[in-house]
Chain A
């Protein structure tokens, strides 16, 4: 396994004081907390810094880490010390700073043993007294917008922490076919009952919560249940109020361009957004595209220039002296 340089992860010197460690951790934690950050690697980074801080804030663990870790460089192949430092104890410290099993790296486990509770859960289980519900698990699922519109089944692979027969936490790869409900929006959570971590000693399994994200679509952009589309139109389509084809998630529709001042206009197609109790709308932003004037088009533009008496800048002329 790779050696982890906890000081480097927190961006502090080896001799950093408890105060400096706390400051560095707090700053990074605010930046990378998965509930706050939009960075793609936020979850992994946060996990890593939480582990680093968990060790370095505890004087005993820090001393053990400094002692065994002084000869290793970050990323180097690490062999756990004989005996190991597990005597330094991982306590379940209550709500304020709970440590989840399976949350920390293999490296951490090799140094300090399992992350939760000093005792062996099997011992409790043997007495028939210890029973615990499995933990809920949070994950993200990225789906195409069309899945949210039509509903779909997506395959998802997840690492689920599980208590092994030897009493140590390890992760297990699990594959699920998830039925995506129709009309789900980005940022919403969906719940899969009993698909989280398995319970201990016959306890019920936890739930799995998936936060939905949309893959970027080249044409459609979702805002809640509403869909936004930019539709290029020609100047004559705008001026003459022609009917053009416009894409929606449900397929192409005919759209009558309103006449009047052209330019950037937004049209609303009621109920053409993502489905729901109240379906979203689709907003079509018209974008007049001016084709290059060459050949026959050029003489038509010139004709237009000669005949037209409209001053397109009339609106702003009075506004700027």
Chain B
């Protein structure tokens, strides 16, 4: 096998931000779904209005996880937010993910 070229990976952390449009594209859901996630407290953007919202890289991870949980387990957003908070807590306590 020929050696593939190296690809730069970007860390999804607090230094990286996305717009509402970008988040919805990367979660493969309409923007209205992202709005719903924000209203239900699944993810928290920075900025006063949807057009100016910026989401941290970690919010993207959380949003994608939420979309999968809602789709696969048919949870509602509020329940999903709770599940994600509990999973975070569990991961924090166990130390290693």
Which residues of A approach B to under 8 Å, CB–CB? 26, 29-30, 33-36, 46, 50, 95-98, 133, 135-136, 138, 153, 155, 174-181, 183-184, 186-193, 195, 207, 209-210, 213-214, 216, 221-224, 228, 277
Contacts and interface: CB of A to CB of B under 8 A. Distances in A.
Interface string B29-70: 100010000000000000000000000010011001100110
A134 to B, nearest CB: 11
B11 A209 contact: no
B71 A35 contact: no
A190 B10 contact: yes
Contact of A95 (B5, B9, B29): B29
B89 interface: no
A159 to B, nearest CB: 15
Given A175-B1, A177-B3, A277-B15, A50 B8 contact: no
A33 B3 CA distance: 34
A58 to B, nearest CB: 16
B26 interface: yes
Nearest to A187: B97
Contacts of A136: 26, 28, 64
Contacts of B11: 181, 183-184, 188, 190
Interface of B: 1, 3-13, 15, 25-26, 28-29, 33, 57, 60-61, 64-65, 68-69, 71-74, 83, 87, 91-92, 95-97
B8 A179 contact: yes
B10 A181 contact: yes
A213 B97 CA distance: 7
Given A33-B73, A177-B3, 19 more contacts: A29-B73, A33-B69, A50-B72, A136-B28, A138-B64, A153-B6, A175-B1, A176-B7, A177-B6, A178-B6, A189-B61, A191-B9, A191-B57, A192-B9, A193-B10, A195-B7, A207-B26, A209-B61, A223-B95
